[in-house]
Structure formats: structure tokens, C-alpha cells
Amino acid sequence: MLNRQLYILSASLAAAAIALFLYKSQILGFPIQPHSETQIWNVEAAVTFDPGPAAVKVNLQVPSLTPGFALLDENFVSRGFGLTSYNTTNGRQAQWAVREAVGPQTVYYRALVYRDRTRRLEDTTPPFPEAPKLDPASSVALEGLIADARRQSADVESFTAELLRRINTEGDQYARLFIKEGSAPLDRAQLATTILAAAHIPARVAHGVLLRQQSGSVNPVPLLEVHDGVRWLYFNPVTRQEGLPPDFLVWWRGDDALVSVEGGSKLSVSLAVQRSVIDATAVVRARSERTGSRYMEFSLFALPITTQAVYSVLLMIPIGALVILLLRNFVGVKTFGTFMPVLVALAFRETRLLWGIVLFAVIVSLGLAIRFYLERLRLLLVPRLTCVLTIVVMLMAGISVLSHKLGIQPGLSIALFPMVIISMTIERMSIVWEERGASEAVQQGIGSLLVALG
């Protein structure tokens, strides 16, 4: 019965730990490796204009529905302007307004975006569009183009691909009535949305920027979005390549301009992209807030930074104890207790491996020699331990002073060795030496050092 309870308890704890691990790594995006960094992009829109004598309003399209990416932070930079942000049918807009302005003005929109594979297009199914109103000749050509494309397609996806092929073919008798040779990709995408509307297929133009490795100014790139009744499909209006490019950040949708101004002139806008990296934990915090998870509020990340630093060390102790358990019970490595190798290993994190071994060996050897001398004085246990502890502290202080004089920096970290543990190690090693011989004492000492190194 007790064994069954042990198995059930172990399985329950293991399942809970695995579930928590998967939730943190897959849902919240916690990094698995230490010091992990996440690639982010700083995208910026700079709008310049000359204000008129009256009030001025500047409307700028800003990112909202961005499949494949998520916003980490955004800032609206201006001086003396009022700012409002609101949602529209095609996304989101920022509006700067001022009663009076003198001289050329510049306003900025800046956003930090990061790649988020879980980010999908959260958009409702659009209604069927209204058919465009054209003159009789254009209507006949449009119907012929749609009929030919339908004969050579099987569904919305293949119909759109065939339609784009005809739009980009110079010799097509119907398409050449609507598109001129050398037309821009945006014109071709807008023509495709008009033809798809006549075919009762929802479509729109998605404008975005390509987040390349190079930094600097970029130009908006149009993509054709087509809804097949279930999901949105993406097409390059010129190459007809299907799918959303992995480095494409959707900025805004629809036929509206990126920026517009009321009460001003000489309007211009420039987009820029800069790539950088940040700590992956910062991205986790932003994703946790976006998903509504309260895990971060009740985790160690909610503690002050100094307290987090303490727990980053303390949480290593149970892991070290587990390693010692496996090495002692399954491998058979002999050590002086359980906590001594763990605490020495924590000290090695600061002294570095080679210097840690040297310092540990020197202190234990000198302490052990002095301990054997104290044995001749016939001291009781408590006075003897007090003497050993005092000598260990004096040895550590002496080595630190000598290291400072010789310019040996790692020697200054010797104070991180746990004094009480070293004192108890010396005492226990001397007892084993007397009771079981020098060989057993050396084996346990070497085993403790090896476990600490592991």
C-alpha cells in the first residue's frame, strides 16, 4: 500500500512539473537555455509636414492585426500635439492634433515588435463585397476575365492564382483593359480586389514592411489577402507566390493612404527598421500580459531584483542535492555528507573551476594538518571545532591578502567558500582518517570534490 502511494505521489508530482514546464515554454515562451535573447525590431514612422494657419490633424495608420508578430512596446513622439488612438475597419489609426503650429513639424511613431509564432489573424469572416459599378464595355471584359479564370481553377485559392497570372500577363485580352504595362504592385493588388469583389470573394490589400537583417529605410510592400470562407490567404500580386512571408510585418490594410493631413501641406512619411536583441524574459512578460496570464504576478519574477538574485542561487541547492543523491546511491561515489559538495559547487561559480580546486585543496590540506596538531592537545569537540573554524577564517583572510598583493583576482573570491562547511569537512575528514585510514578519507575527499565539480 505504501509503495502504491509512493508511485502515485511521484507520478502526480512529475505530471504537474511537466505540465508547468510545457505551459511556461510553449504558452508563455520562457527560454529553456540560460541567457537567451530574443530578436526584436524597432520600426519607426516619421511624418513631416508644413502646418497651415488653422488647426492641423495628422492621421497615421499603425500596426494592429499582425500575424506572426506581436507588439512589445510602442511610443508616439510629438511636441505640443494632442494624441488619440482608435480602431477603424482596416486596423488602427493614430491622430495628432494641434490648434496652432509654426514651421515644419515632425511626429514619430515607434514600436518594438518580436516574432510570435502563436500570433494568428484574429479577424471575423468578412461579408460578401458589393460588385463594382463599371461601364458596359468594362463589365463585359470583367465577366470574361472571371469566366476564363473560373474554368481554369477549382477553388478560391487556385482562382486567385489564375487571376493574378492573367493580370501580370501582357497579352491577356481582358486584363490589358484594366492594367497598364509597368503598373506598380499596389495597382495590381487593388485591381485584383476589384475583380474578386465582382466574383463575390472578399479580398483586401495588406500593406507592410519586410524585416530584413539590414537596418535602414524601407518602403511599404503590398500583399493581396483573400478569404476562402475559412481563413485568409496571402498572395504576392506580382510573383503570385502564396503565403505570408516570415519576415513580413503587416502595417495596415485597405485602400487608405498610410498618412493623411488636414490643415497642412508638403506631407511626407518615411519608414525605418532596426534589428536588435533583448533579454527573452522581457518578451515573456509582455506575452504574459497580452494573454491575461497571472503567472508572472505569483512567480519569483514579481520579487525585487536583489531577492531574485538570492533565489537564483538557492534554487540550485535542490538540484545539486538531486545530483548527489544519484551519484551516491546509483554510481557509488563517496562524499562527505550532502550539503558540503553543493555549497562548495556554488562557491566554484565565483572562483572559477581551476582556482576553486586549488583554493579548496590548500585550505583543506592546511586545516587538516592543523587539526591533527590540535588532536595532541586533547581538546573537547566544541573547543576543537571552534579552533578549526577560527583557523579556516584566518587561512581564507591570509590567502585573500596574499592574492591581492600578487595581483591574483580569483583569490579574492575565496571568501565565498562556506566557512562552517569547510570546518566541518576538515573535522569529519580527520575522524575518517583516524577510524578508517587515510585511503578512505582521501577517497571521500576526492569524491566530494568531483561531485562539486559536476
Quick check: is 447 in a domain?
yes
Quick check: is 101 in a domain?
no
Quick check: is 1 in a domain?
yes
> What is residue 222's predicted lDDT score, i.e. its pLDDT?
93
Highest mean pLDDT among 89-98, 345-354, 395-404: 89-98
Quick check: is 344 in a domain?
yes
Quick: pLDDT tens for 180-226. 666 788 888 888 888 888 888 899 999 999 887 666 788 899 999 99
> What is residue 411's predicted lDDT score, i.e. its pLDDT?
46
For residues 136, 137, 141 and 146, what is the CA-based torsion angle, rounded to 10 degrees? -10
Distance, CA of 431 to CA of 336 (rounded, Å):
11
Quick: pLDDT tens for 393-403. 777 777 777 76
Does the pLDDT at position 367 exceed 50? yes
> What is residue 78's predicted lDDT score, i.e. its pLDDT?
86
**For residues 171 and 105, is the Cβ–Cβ distance under 8 A?**
no
**For residues 305 and 316, is the Cβ–Cβ distance under 8 A?**
no
Quick check: is 96 in a domain?
no
Confidence of residue 285 (pLDDT cuts 50, 70, 90): confident
Average pLDDT, the chain: 78
Quick: pLDDT tens for 16-74. 989 988 887 777 777 777 777 778 889 999 999 988 888 899 999 998 878 888 888 88
Confidence of residue 413 (pLDDT cuts 50, 70, 90): very low
- Amino acid at site 239: T
Of the candidates 107, 96, 106, 92, which has an alpha carbon nearest to the alpha carbon of residue 61? 92
- Compute and round to an integer the Cα radius of gyration of the chain: 35
Quick check: is 170 in a domain?
no
Number of H helices, E strands in the chain: 12, 13
Number of domains within the chain: 2
Quick check: is 403 in a domain?
yes
Structural domain range at position 1: 1-30
- Amino acid at site 43: V
> What is residue 426's predicted lDDT score, i.e. its pLDDT?
67
> Per the structure block, which three cell numbers stand in for 178?
484594366
* Angle between the N-to-C axes of helices 353-376 and 339-351, in degrees from 0 to 180, rounded to the nearest 10: 130
Does the pLDDT at position 238 exceed 60? yes
Does the pLDDT at position 347 exceed 50? yes
- Amino acid at site 291: T
Distance, CA of 448 to CA of 342 (rounded, Å):
9
Quick check: is 366 in a domain?
yes
**For residues 131 and 203, is the Cβ–Cβ distance under 8 A?**
no
